[in-house]
Structure formats: structure tokens, C-alpha cells
Structure 1
Amino acid sequence: MQTHDIRQRFLSHFERAGHTVVPSASLLLDDPNLLFVNAGMVPFKPYFLGEASAPYPRATSIQKCVRTGDIDEVGKTSRHNTFFQMAGNFSFGDYFKETAIKEAWSLLTTSQADGGFGFDPDRLWATVYHDDDETETLWREIAGLPEERIQRRGMADNYWSMTVPGPCGPCSEIYYDRGPEHGREGGPIVDEDRFLEIWNLVFMQNIRGEGPAKEGYPILGELPAKNIDTGLGIERVAYLLQGVDNVYETDLVRPVIAKAEELSGRRYGADETADVRFRVIADHARSGVMLIADGVTPGNEARGYVLRRLLRRIVRSARLLGVKEPVLGEFTSVVRDVMSPAYPELTTDYERIESVMRTEENAFLATLTSGSKIFDLAATATRDSGAVVLPGDKAFQLHDTYGFPIDLTLEMAAEQGLSVDEEGFRSLMAEQRARAKSAAASRRTGHGDKSVYRDLLDQGATEFVGYERLESESVVRGLVAEGARVRSAGEGDIVEVVLDRTPLYAESGGQESDAGSILGDSVRAEVLDVQKVSRKLWVHQVRVLEGELAEGSAVLAKVDPEWRIGARQGHSGTHVVHAALREVLGPSALQSGSYNKPGYLRLDFAWPGGLSAETRSEIEEVSNLAVRRDLGVSVLHTSMAGARELGALALFGETYDETVRVVEIGGAWSRELCGGTHVEHSSQIGPITLLGESSIGSGVRRIEAYVGIEAFRYLATERALVQNIAAMLKVPDQEVPARVESLVERLRLAEKELERVRAAALLSSAGGLADSAADVDGLAVVAAALPAGVSGGDLRTLALDVRGRLGERPGVVALFSADEAAGKVSFLVTLNTAARERGLAAGKLVPSFAPAIAARGGGKPDMAQGGGTNPAGVSEAIAALHRELAAVPASR
């Protein structure tokens, strides 16, 4: 049975059972606890938590999910995936345990000819929470499961939560016995490879608090209603029904392995070590493509770091299979071909996805080149010291700085006859993970309690009238202060106000919320912020300036008209710049994030490198030509499918309703899904002035601009600046660049000449320094402080000159250059051959004086150099060096 058929059978079964079929949400949702959607219930959390009333009593979905906690197990077991499809059926206070078990058993055991999966009932097992007698009884009555095929387990295994504060409850898991050839007898509690979990039925009834991820956390109370959340792993069911050995050999994953076989010339199934690499490639290729499709770009933090790690593991695995040429583009096309029937956006957005993949691979291949040089130096130093083990800190540096996986470092070390201090490496990795975990914990907020808005949500959504007008007569539905409902608020209070209707835009889609006021009889309040709760309720944060604001009172809600003019210009300007980017750079230059406020816009977009000045000017010109053409701005409402047919662009990470709002500027020239406020004609945007363009991560650029009056003001400031410079230089404005260029060249030549004179003067002091050498027990010692600002190169040249003038005497030269203003000191120590024959080494002398100048540094026996942070300690450092040398025996 093909995977797409499995998906359809699941949805059809529950649709017949009265469930509403809900499309998969994006992998990226606005949840402070999650990098990615990791379970099918995540999009429904507001309904489970009672923050909003569910629009349907029961639902079913096939949700795309990503989990990376077991990333190191991928390819080694039969069941671990980073990307997977979670089929689920959900009840929001409608049915509970009995119906959930009946429906699951029916779908699993009904014959394939009758629309089911056709599993043998005698090979199915169930687990229940250790004290859940009710569920065990239901399994016996409904499914006829014997006592020995129902096993009880503790909280870690059979009490479900998302490992963070939020919904939780006991669960019952369904397992399939793959047979004795796959492991030991005894059920899931003995062997979870032989007994494979395929479905988890969660009886969601409680809320958990902060605490350990799996068990031992507090149960804070009950949810407003008893709910059902189930999750069936599509990939696991596929590999059982397709008769293959693991999830990597199913119809949607095995084609990637076939492509890897083609590229490497190696055969899957011939060697277990190679097979793990094949499976890593197949799994991570799917995950990478799906993450990029939903708007993630490779980076060094959070979601971007996870994606980068996945893609680099693919490249590394391919190299270990012997593939040296780029591979990510090849795997991307395979994933598109097999997954697009369920996810058509993989075809429509293929060019952008492939571009991100190729850009990241090229970047990694470049780091492999530079990192390999660092590895070679570390390997050479290890051998020169007589060791055969590469230090753990070097392996960690290669991983942390250059993105080298430890496996790659191990392979390269083995090629040079070395091993690696893996224990030291893993210790440093553990320290880094602990720091990251601590930082994440400090940022994690848990699931905020929004149940205070439940009654307000039940009264219906706030009516937003801000597209048509700037003020509205409204009624105060409710007031919230410090997380609790209040009846009124007085002068000076800051409270949250919920109105039945409002003209004030709530922050979303990159647009700041409106500024404005709420007025009533003897009351005046300033609007500080407007946010949405559960995407339906507009919550105004206000400061009461005078009078008393009371629940149930009639008020006038007003938008600051000047603010709204600028806000419309900023948001429409963002659409125009986005369209100009795509016109100049091509369709793959897609927006991955934006922010706009009155007079200003910022737009992030996927692009492999910086833009030239000419390209920036072209984007600016295309944008302003669109303004001059006075393009019409229109809005239409359609379904998401209709919007896709029109080619409307969506903002990654945003969640859209079934009916979406499409904003067009110049028709198809700019067509985007957008809920923001906009001008009526492009000429109302006013001038658009690009401020600059920069990198915010690998493959992601950021462009900023002023629009409208802010653009005028910026240009006026720039014009005044040029005029002032022209006046100082006494040239016309248009000659300023040439004159400045001439002055810069003259300054460069003067600095070069000054440097030559200064170096000559410094080197001329070599003779005097050599003549001042002190005799320390037969050693000629020159230890001196030089003026501030001596470069490392000059320090080295002067020291070698002084050393050469000492003749055949055993000589030690130590020069220090202290810079009090900068709080730095540089030093260099060098020894001649005669001094080294007495057993001295420059590097071993450094510890004698380093504490005095708070220094770090080292080097070879003939020369050591470094720097410190205590310029005031130079005199003590020189004295300490003299004491060290005086203690050295005449012949060592």
C-alpha cells in the first residue's frame, strides 16, 4: 500500500465518522516552547487549553512534523525520522476513550478491500497507564485483547505531554508485533524494535507545570473539557504495510537512497556502516526540503541551526560514501517528485528551495576547505610533539568554528595515522549544550495562560473595521489587568481592553500595531499596543489618561490618522520592494520575513550573497518607477487554493484562515497574501530610498528603506551633508567624490611615508639596544620597553636585528610594546643558537613574566610572541625575566 493511499484511507475513515478534515499547518507556528511543530495536536492547542472554542467538535489531519531530539539515532534504528507525517483524530470535549479506541481498532483491522489497513488483530498489542483500569477494560471489551497483550507502564512511557507546560494526560499506545526474527518475546516493555509503536491515543484531561520532560512534573489541574488527541505515524504504518525492514525503505524515502547509490556507485544493503549513511541522507533530505519549503533558512541559531546541521550531515554522509561533487540539488529534486502529490508547494516553490540547498552546500564546501587547513596544522603540531592523539579542543574547534562533524574529523585523523580525544571533545560539547540549554530555559516562557480571554472569545471575534474607517463606536467587552479580569480602570492604570469592534490594526504580518486613542464620557485613554489572541480577539493595551474606563461602557475608538498614513506607506512599500527584488534578482528572491512601521520598512529574503551597488540602485529604481506609474492597489478574498492558483505569495510562518485576503499592486506584478493596511494607489507610497543591504545569516539578506516623508527627510539630510562637505572642500557638489578620492589617496601616501620613516627610526635603535645588553651569568640579555604602537612585524624585525648584533654570545632578546590607552601590551622573545644550546627555549621563558602583564602566548624554542592586557606591568615583566635567567645554571 502506497503512502499516499495510507494518508487518504486515514482521512476518509475519520471523515465518515463525522470529523472535519483540517489541512496540515506549517512546521513553524508562533509557540515559545517549540522550534517546529512536533506533534499533530500542536495547531489545536488553543482549543485543548480552552483559550478558544473549537470551530468543530471533532477533527482529523495529517500534520507534517519535525523532531530532532533523536537526530543521532537516525539511520541506526528502524523507526527514527526527523521529518514525519502524523495522522491524528481529535475530539474537543465531544467523545472520549471508548470512541477513540473503537475507531482506532476499526481502521487498523478492517480489511484493505473495505478501506482499512488490514492488520492482523493477533499481532496488535496495547499499553496503558499504570493505574488506568478503565482503558484496559475497554481494550478487552472492544478489541478482545487478552490480558497478556495489554501492558501497563509508568509516566515516562504512558503519560503524554509536550515535555513543556501545557496539555497532558494518560495515553494508550498500540504496537505491532513484527515477529520473532526482529527481537525478543515479551511485548513492548521488552523490545520496542520487534514491537513497533504505530498509534498513540492520548486521553487529554490535565495541564502540567514546569519540571522534568518525561516524568516527575506537577499536574496543575484539569482542562476545561476531556479531549482526545491521537497520533499515528504514517511512515511506520507504511513500512509495515509495504513489507520493508524500516522507515527508510518506504516508497517516499527509498528513492533518495537510490539517488545516493547512483551518485556514489555503492550499493545499499552491502555494508551496515554505509547503510547508516544512506539512511541519514534519505531522512535529512526530506526534512531539509520540508523545512525550507516552510520558510526556514540555514543559520547559526534556533531553527536555522537545526536546518544547517541536517544539510551538513547529508553532505558529510555523501563524502563518506565517496561522493565529492555537490549533492543537495540532486536530492532536492527526488524529494520534490515523491512528496509533491501531498505537498504541491514543493513543485511551485522548487526553484527557491533548490537555491537555498545549493547555497548552503557551497558554503559548507568552502568551510571544509578552510577547516581542512586548520586540521592539517593541528595534525602536524600533534605529530611534531610526538603525540598520536589529536586534542579534544582541536576537534571541538573544528566542529564549533568550521562545522566539521566529529565523524569527519575522525576520518581525516585516521588518514594521517592519528586518533582523536573523543572524550575531551564530547566533554566540551556537553558544556556547550549545557550553556545552550540554560540560555533556552531562561528564554522559555511556558504556555501563557490565556484562559482569561475564554469568555470574551465565546462572545465572538472582534470586528475589525480599520480597512474602511479610522474610528468606530464600540463597546468595552472586557478589561484585563495583570492576567485577571477587572471591572474598571482609573487614571494612570495600564490595562488590556477588548472591544466588540475596532479600527485599530493589531500587530501582525510584520506591520506594527496602530497608535490611537479610546474616548468616552469623561474618559480618555492612549492606545500603546494592539495584539491578537487566538487570531480572533483584538486586545488593546492602553494607559488611562483621565477618567474611569469601565466594562460595558460605550466608547469611540480612533486611529491616529498620521500614523495610519505612514503605516500604509510602509506596508505597501514593503510589497513594492519585494516585487522589485524578484524582478531584478529573479523569482527565487523570496521574502522570508519583514517589519514595517510608519516611514520605514525592513525585508529579509533568501539570496546567496551580497548585492552590488549597481543592483541596489536598480532595485531602488524599479521600486520608484512602480510608485510613479500610480499602480492600482486592490484587495480580493478567496480560498487558499484559489490564492495559490493566482500565484499569490504567502509570508512564511504565518497561519491563514480558509478564506484569505490577497493584496495586488499592479495586478500580478505584486500579489501577496496579506492582512495589512495599504494605500489605494502606489503613488501614495511616496519616494522609496534604500538605506542598505546586509547579511543576517548564511543565505539570507536584509534590505532596509525609508518611504514617504521619512524618505524626503533622509534625502534632505544627505543633501545637506554633501553641501557641507562641498563647502569645506570649496568645490561644486558634483565634484565632491573626486576631491574626496584625491584626499584619501594623498592621505594614504602620507601614512605610507610616515610608516617608512617610523620603521627606519625604530630599526636604527637596534645598535643601541644591542650595546645595552646586560650580562646575566654569561647571557647577553636585552629586555626593553618600546614606544606604543609598534606593530607585530616591526617588533619581530627589530628583535631579530638586535639578536644578530649580539654575535656569538648566548643571547636573549625580549621586547615589549605597551599601549596604555588601549590597555594592551605586545611582546616578543627570541634566542640565538648559543642560548638554545644552553638549554633555553623562548616559549618556556614566557610563563616567568606573563602574569605581570596578564599575557597569553607561546611559540617555538627560538621565538615566542603574544600579548597581554596590563601595560603597567611591563617593568615587572622585565625584572621577572631577569630573575628567571639569573636562576638558570651556566650549563643546563
Structure 2
Amino acid sequence: MKTAEIRQRFLDFFAERGHLVQPSASLLYNDPTLLFVNAGMVPMKPYFLGSEQPPAPRVTTVQKCVRTLDIEEVGKTTRHGTFFQMNGNFSFGDYFKAEAIRYAWDLVTGPVDGGGFGFDPDRIWVTVLGPGLHPDYPDGDAEAVAHWRSVGVPAEHIQPRGLKDNYWHMGVPGPGGPCSEIYVDRGPEHGRDGGPEADEDRFLEIWNLVFMQQELSEVRAKDDFDVARPLPEPNIDTGMGLERVAFLLQGVDNLYEIDEVYPVIQRASELSGRRYGADPEDDVRLRVVADHIRSALMLMTDGVTPGNEARGYVLRRLLRRSVRAMRLLGVEDRVLPELLPVSRDLMSASYPEVTGAWERVSQNAYAEEDAFRRTLTAGTQIFDQAVSRARGERRDTLAGDQVFQLHDTYGFPYDLTLEMASEAGLQVDREGFRTLMEEQRDRAKADAKAKKGGAVDTEAYRGLRGAGETTFLGYSDLSGETTVRGIVADGANRPSAGEGELVELVLEQTPFYPESGGQDADTGEILSDGFRAEVLDVQRPLPGLITHRVRVTFGEVTVGARVRTQVDAAARMDSCRAHSATHVVHAALRQLLGPTAVQAGSYNRPGYLRFDFNATQSLTPGLREEVEGVSNEAIRSDLQVTATEMGLQQAKDLGAMAMFGEKYGDVVRMVEMGGPWSRELCGGTHVESSAQIGLLTLTAESSVGSGVRRVEAFVGADAFSHLARERAMVNNLADLLKVQPEQLPERVERLVSSLRAAEKEIAAVRTAQLLARADDFAREATDVAGTAFVGRRVEGVTGGDLRTLALDVRSRLGERPGVVALVGGSADKVALVVATTAAARERGSDAGKLVGVGAPRVGGRGGGKADVAQGGGTDPSGADAALAAIEQALAGQLR
């Protein structure tokens, strides 16, 4: 049974039992305690905690998850995977233990032809909370035992276990309760008998049923907690490991060999010439590749890009471990263009968004591999030299300065150095490395490097930084005199730069604000009597060092020259307005939505801002109007804006908002607007009072990810210009429709209603025309091995219309065996539908298999059930070949 089918059977099973099917939440779910969703219940936490109303009393999902704590075990065990899918059914105060146990038993042991998974009941074991372990459960979970016995589980297959195994809570005060786990006996060849207590390799856990029935007041450990009271309404939270069920039902030994993963192993094996199963060490590497490729694909699909911090770092590590594993298998060429598309094709059946994001995902992945290949070439040579030196000096530890050089100069990942050192039988001077890294921990992020056209060797900046920090004067001054400390071009130091060149200047002090905190960099000029340069960008490539990307427009600049700096004052003021306006919007959102509306990102440039914040629902038009109103009221109130440096803890005590994920020193800069109304930790430049912002108008509100919304706005003169354009548009529409501006909504609504009515009439006529052709199609059916076959191209018919026509033709074939295959679509998109009669299915015809034969001929794929299936593609020229292939396959099925 294919993984996608297992997934769908689970959802269908619970949908038939009154559960609302919810799509998987993004892996980047809005939970500040997690990098990624790491369990199926994470998106349900607000419902269990009572902070949000669940969408229905019964819910079922298949949730994407990523766990990286056991990344070193990937490939070595049967069940450690970085990306995995968790099937879950949830009850919020609806059904409880009896129904949850009955549902699980019926699905696990139910016959395959009845929608179940078909596991042998004699191979099923369950665990429950044992007696005498907690004062609230003197008899253990006797209720669960009784329910398992009632569905047919023998007493000897029900094992009591301790609180660590069979009691669940979140690790903090809140809901908790006993749980019951379902295990499948894989057979004596996998270990000793005796149930899960004896051997959890032979007896593999596939499903955990959590019975939330208590509120915990104190949690000290997994098995040490205090119960405050019973929950007013008990809840059900279950999690079935999709990959575990897949490898059991597919008869393979581990999750790396299931249908959604193994083809990547096969392709990696072909590229390397290493046969899977021939060498245990090679097998581990091939599994690592397959697991990490899939995990990276799913992370990038959800918006993660390779980087040096947090989520981006995890993704970078997965990609680079994959590339390095292939190198250890003997493949020196690029591998991601060969492997990533295989995983894309495997995962897109369950997650169509993988295909939609492919262009962005592939570009990022391939660029990361190219960068890492360059890193490996240089870094591996240095690493080998360091190992040889250590062995020659009879040392068992790599020196910290050597590891630092690998990381800082060559960009060689620290964790990769640790892995390679371990493989070479050596330790690493970690403390020495950390000491040398203190000034380098906040290196430029990946997006800043990309903006400069690629990664730059930081060696050119390190010597300049060694002479001291660049003093920033921009909070008080927009001009001044200073000395050129250094000139950098193409990653190297230069003594001078002449007219027409693009270079980076490092000054002793500067009023130019470097891009950071969401605020664009200043622009302006750097000049002297014999030199002039236009400032295009200002960055901070290393902590404490500011660089100015300039175009030399006149003369020559040299290191040591005295120059004058001049920030573009008008642009700076517009930047101040925009940045201060982001604080205003943040405060307005928190005032209206509450403290959960926390900043998740921002960007501002002169006259414009965008602001991302945590929210689970979009802003209604009324609420959006309120946000705009509160913001402009604050602007008109002429609130004083002040910036104060203080200790981090003092700022937190005052309620200052900090950006999650940002690093702060012991001394921070707190920006206040109207005192406590808005307090944020911020290094940006601001107006002196809110009235200087002038005006703010919200222009857009959208979603940028699960649990994150974005608002955009114009500020100051740009806001006035925007409103003037909107007024002109309203006047033009009013003139066009011959109404007054205030009558526009009513007039447009009437036009839309008329259009919709016309569209319905057109659709009805089109449907009637299609169905009129159905009788002709049925009469012209050809005989294929005793089955009436209708194979036709239907130009211009798409989607639901094509399916409707196919089903109508099928109905006209009557009781006889019949198969209908129709190809429609547009000039650049092909639609394919196959439908079978009951008599045809009895003879072995399967619409899902037939559509799978035809879809590749039109450059696509498809699937479905035995009675009706759909597919599609992008190559209309293959329509006739698709129909011919289906007809041939039908003939083969009936032989």
C-alpha cells in the first residue's frame, strides 16, 4: 500500500466518522518555543489549552513534522527520520477513550477492501499506564484496559508501563493524561518475544492514543507532576507514524525503503555505482541522502532558505550533509539536480505545493550546493593538512585556531569539522574555537550576502576590524569629517580606487546608517577636494565594522585620505518616518488584537513600510480601518519619541518588545513613543515626535505563512500621493459608470450580480451541450477484449466539466463492462479523466491505474480510485498517445 494511500485512508476513515479534515500546518508554525513543528499535535495546542476555539469538535490531520535532535542517528536505525508525517485524530470535549480505542482498532485491523490497514489482530500489542504509579491512578488506566479487552485484544497482549512511557503532558502546567500505545509484532526475525517491554525493535510502536483528562498544576519531570483537577471536558489526541505504518505495510525493513523515499536511494546508488545492501557503511550514507533530500525539500517548500542561523542553518546542514555523503560515495559532480527532482515527484502527490514552489526551491538548493562545493574543495585540503599535522605531533586533538580558520576563512561548517574529526579518530578544541569565534558570531546573514552578489571572504574585513570599531554618529549627525581606514573590492583590500569603480569604503566614523533591523541603508555622498563618491549601500559585514558600497564619480580615493560625509537628509527623514511608523503600527495592532500580535519581521524604506506579526486570522475590513485609525490618532497626538540605552533586563522589566530570534547584548537601545504606549528594543533611526510622520495609510494585508500576517503602508508624502491616486481612480470610475462617487459600491455590486448571473447561464448552456454529446460518445464505444471503451479528445473542456461528461458517458454504457477515457484541457494544460462501470471493475479494470498509464504521455501524473480517477499534464501533443496507452493497458488488464 502506497504511503499516499495510507495517508488518504486515514483521513477518509475519520472523515466518515464525523471528523473535520484539516490540512497540514506549515513546518514553520507560529510557536516561539519551536524551530519547526515537531509533533502532530503542535497546531492543536491552542485548542487543548483553551486559548482558541477549535474549528470542530472532531478533527483529523496528517501533519508535516521535522525533528533534528537525532540527526546523527539518521540512516543507522530503522525509524529515525528528520522529516516525517503524523496522522492524528482529535476530539475536543466530544468522544473519549471508548470511541478512540474502537476507531484505532477498526482502522488498524480492518480489512483493506473495507478501508482499513489489514494488520493481523494477533500481531497487535498495546501498552497502558500501569497501577500504583500515581495517586490519581491507583489501578493504572483500568478503563483503557477494559476498552481494549472489549474490542478483542487478549489480556496477555496488554502491557502496563510507567509514567515516562504512558503518561503525556506538555512539560508545563496544563492538560495531561494517560496514553495507550499500539505496537505491531514484526516477527521473531526482528528480536525476542515478550511484547514491547522486551524488545521495541521487534514490537514497533505505530500509534499513541493520549487521553487528556486532567489539569496539571506543577510539572517537575516526565514522571513527576501534580494534578490540580479533572478537565471540564476530556480530550483525545492521537498520533500515528505514517512512515512506520508504510514500511510495515510495504514489507520493507525501514522507513528509508518506503515508496516516498527509496527512489532517491536508487538514484543515488545509480550515480555512485554503489549497490544498496552491499556495504553497511554505504547503506547508511545512502539513507542519509534520501532522508535529508526529502527533509530539505519540504522545509524549502514551506519557505526556509539556507542560512547561518536557526531554521536556515538546519536546512543548510541537511543539504550539505547530503552533498558530503554523496562525495563519500564517490560522486564529485553536482548531485542535487539529480536527486531533488526525484523527491519532488514523490512528495507532490500528497503535497501539491511542492510543485508550485519548485522554481524557488530548486534555485536556492542548487546555489547552496555550488557554494558548498567551493567550500569543500578548499576546506577539505586544509582539514587534511591539520589532521596530518596533529598526527605528526602525536596529538589527538585539532587545535582551536585551525578549526577557526576552517570556519572563518573558508566557511567550512563547524559541525562538519566535528564529524570529520570524529571519523579521523580526533577530538576538537571546542573551547579554543569558541574563544576565537566571539567577534564573528553575528556574521552577515545569507540574504545580505546575496544582495551583494554572493558570499565574500571575510578575511578582507578582519584586519580592518582589528583596528577598532567604526563609530556610528548617525543618531545625532548627518555629516562630518573622517579618515578612510580601508578600501575593499572583490573581497580583497585595495590601496586606492579610481573614477568609475564600485568599491567598499571603511571609515573611522560615519553618519551613514547600515541596513539592519528592517531599515534600509542611508544614501548620500563621501567626498573631498579631489574625490567624490556616491553611497549606494551601507552594511555591517562583521560586528562593529561598517562598510559603504560606493561608486567613485570623480577623482581617486586612497587609504588614509581625509573625507567629508553627507547623508541624503531628505531620504533619511523619510526613512525615520517609515521606521517610526512601524512602531506605531505594532503598538496599534497590540492595542486592538492583544499581546499575541507580536512582530515577526519588518522592512521599511523612505515612504513605505511592511510589518509582519503573529496572528491566526486575517484582519477584517473593519479591524483594518481601526488599525489605520489608531495609528493616525497616535501620529496626530504628537507623541514624544525618545531613545535610551539601558541594561537588557531593565528594558524587559519596562515591557520593551524584542524581536524573537534576535540577539541582544547586555546594553540595549530602547525606543519609546508616548512612554509605555510603545516600547521596543531598536537600533534604527526615528523621528523626534510622532507628528513628523505626517500620515499613514494601509495599502495591503495578507498572509506570509502559517500564523503570520503582513500589513503594508505608505507614510508621509507617499501616503498623500497614494490617496490622491485612489481619489483619481474613484472619480474616473464614477464618470465611467455615470454615478456619484458615493454611489459606486451599489453600482459595482449590481454589475457583479449581473455578471455572475450571466456566467451561470453560460455554464448551464455549456453543461447541456456537453451532456448532449455524451450519448454520441457512448454509441461510438469500441470493443476492447469484451469491454466497451470510449476514448475521446474533448478540446477546451476542463476540470469539473470533463469529469461530469465522463460520468455521464459512463452512465449511458448501462450494465455492461465499460471504460471511459477523456482528454481535455487548454493550450498549455491537459486534463485527463478515466471512469469505469461496476461490471468493468469486476473484470479487473482500475481507473486509478489506467489514468496513471495515460498521464505521463501528456507530461504529468494522476491517480484516484478504481471507479473514477483524474490526472493532468502540460503537453497537449501527447493526448492521442495517452488514449492509446490507456486502451493498450485496458487490453492487458483483461487478458
TM-score range, shorter chain: 0.5 to 0.7
Structure 2 Cα separation of the partners of residues 735 and 326 of structure 1: 58
Q: Which has the higher contact order (CA 8 A, sep 6+)?
A: 1
Show the 5 A alignment for 1:228-267: none
Residues 1:751 and 1:397: Cα distance change in structure 2 (over 3 Å): farther
| Residues 1:510 and 2:518 aligned together | yes
Deviation at 1:731, TM superposition (A): 1.5
| Residues 1:732 and 2:614 aligned together | no
Deviation at 1:543, TM superposition (A): 1.6
> Which amino acid counterpart does residue 869 of structure 1 have in structure 2?
T
Residues 1:654 and 1:863: Cα distance change in structure 2 (over 3 Å): closer
1:135-177: per-residue Cα shift (whole Å, max 9, x none)?
xxxxxxxxxxxxxxxxxxxxxxxxxxxxxxxxxxxxxxxxxxx
Matched-pair contact (CA < 8 Å) for 2:857–2:879: yes
Structure 1 Cα separation of the partners of residues 652 and 135 of structure 2: 31
Residues 1:687 and 1:280: Cα distance change in structure 2 (over 3 Å): same
> Which amino acid counterpart does residue 833 of structure 2 have in structure 1?
F
Structure 2 Cα separation of the partners of residues 869 and 682 of structure 1: 55
Instruction: Work out the percentage of aligned pairs sharing the same amino acid.
Output: 46
| Residues 1:872 and 2:880 aligned together | no
SS in 2 for 1:631: coil
Matched-pair contact (CA < 8 Å) for 2:701–2:711: yes
> Which amino acid counterpart does residue 836 of structure 2 have in structure 1?
T
Task: Name the structure 1 match of 2:754.
Answer: 746
Match of 1:543 among 537, 540, 551: 551
Structure 2 Cα separation of the partners of residues 851 and 840 of structure 1: 19
SS in 2 for 1:618: helix
Task: Name the structure 1 match of 2:830.
Answer: 824
1:854-883: per-residue Cα shift (whole Å, max 9, x none)?
453455555444334332333344455556
Match of 2:591 among 580, 583, 586: 583
Match of 1:675 among 653, 675, 683: 683
Residues 1:638 and 1:731: Cα distance change in structure 2 (over 3 Å): same
| Residues 1:785 and 2:778 aligned together | no
Task: Name the structure 1 match of 2:538.
Answer: 530
Structure 2 Cα separation of the partners of residues 330 and 598 of structure 1: 51
Match of 1:275 among 164, 175, 181: 164
Residues 1:691 and 1:668: Cα distance change in structure 2 (over 3 Å): same
Structure 2 Cα separation of the partners of residues 509 and 840 of structure 1: 62
Unaligned runs of 5+ in 1: 1-34, 37-66, 75-256, 286-316, 339-364, 399-421
Deviation at 1:595, TM superposition (A): 1.9
Structure 1 Cα separation of the partners of residues 539 and 594 of structure 2: 35
Matched-pair contact (CA < 8 Å) for 1:852–1:874: yes
Show the 5 A alignment for 1:478-517: 478-517=486-525
Matched-pair contact (CA < 8 Å) for 1:509–1:654: no
Matched-pair contact (CA < 8 Å) for 2:786–2:817: no
Match of 1:322 among 201, 210, 216: 210
Matched-pair contact (CA < 8 Å) for 1:581–1:589: yes
Task: Name the structure 1 match of 2:319.
Answer: 437
Residues 1:456 and 1:736: Cα distance change in structure 2 (over 3 Å): same
Structure 2 Cα separation of the partners of residues 799 and 736 of structure 1: 44
SS in 2 for 1:324: strand
Task: Name the structure 2 match of 1:661.
Answer: 669
> Which amino acid counterpart does residue 631 of structure 1 have in structure 2?
L
Matched-pair contact (CA < 8 Å) for 1:396–1:425: no
SS in 2 for 1:509: coil
Task: Name the structure 1 match of 2:386.
Answer: none
Matched-pair contact (CA < 8 Å) for 1:393–1:424: no
Match of 2:408 among 447, 459, 462: 447
Task: Name the structure 2 match of 1:238.
Answer: none
Deviation at 1:665, TM superposition (A): 1.4
SS in 1 for 2:778: helix
Show the 5 A alignment for 1:223-622: 274-275=163-164, 282=171, 320=208, 322-324=210-212, 429-433=291-295, 436-438=318-320, 439=365, 446-447=407-408, 450=458, 452-454=460-462, 456-532=464-540, 534-622=542-630
Task: Name the structure 2 match of 1:693.
Answer: 701
Structure 2 Cα separation of the partners of residues 692 and 537 of structure 1: 36
Residues 1:731 and 1:326: Cα distance change in structure 2 (over 3 Å): farther
Task: Name the structure 2 match of 1:176.
Answer: none
Residues 1:258 and 1:641: Cα distance change in structure 2 (over 3 Å): farther
> Which amino acid counterpart does residue 437 of structure 1 have in structure 2?
L
Mean alpha-carbon deviation: is it higher for 627-636 or for 817-826?
817-826
1:427-486: per-residue Cα shift (whole Å, max 9, x none)?
953542476424466677853554544554454433322222211112222222333332
Structure 2 Cα separation of the partners of residues 278 and 543 of structure 1: 65
1:597-616: per-residue Cα shift (whole Å, max 9, x none)?
11122222233332222222
SS in 2 for 1:711: helix
| Residues 1:767 and 2:655 aligned together | no
Show the 5 A alignment for 1:631-670: 631-670=639-678
> Which amino acid counterpart does residue 573 of structure 1 have in structure 2?
A
Residues 1:261 and 1:554: Cα distance change in structure 2 (over 3 Å): farther
Matched-pair contact (CA < 8 Å) for 2:252–2:258: no
Normalised by the length of structure 1, the TM-score is: 0.53
Deviation at 1:619, TM superposition (A): 1.2
Bigger radius of gyration? 1
Structure 2 Cα separation of the partners of residues 879 and 395 of structure 1: 31
SS in 2 for 1:764: helix
> Which amino acid counterpart does residue 874 of structure 2 have in structure 1?
T
Structure 2 Cα separation of the partners of residues 272 and 772 of structure 1: 67
> Which amino acid counterpart does residue 802 of structure 1 have in structure 2?
V
SS in 1 for 2:877: helix
Matched-pair contact (CA < 8 Å) for 1:691–1:705: yes
SS in 2 for 1:589: coil
Task: Name the structure 2 match of 1:627.
Answer: 635
Structure 2 Cα separation of the partners of residues 424 and 284 of structure 1: 42
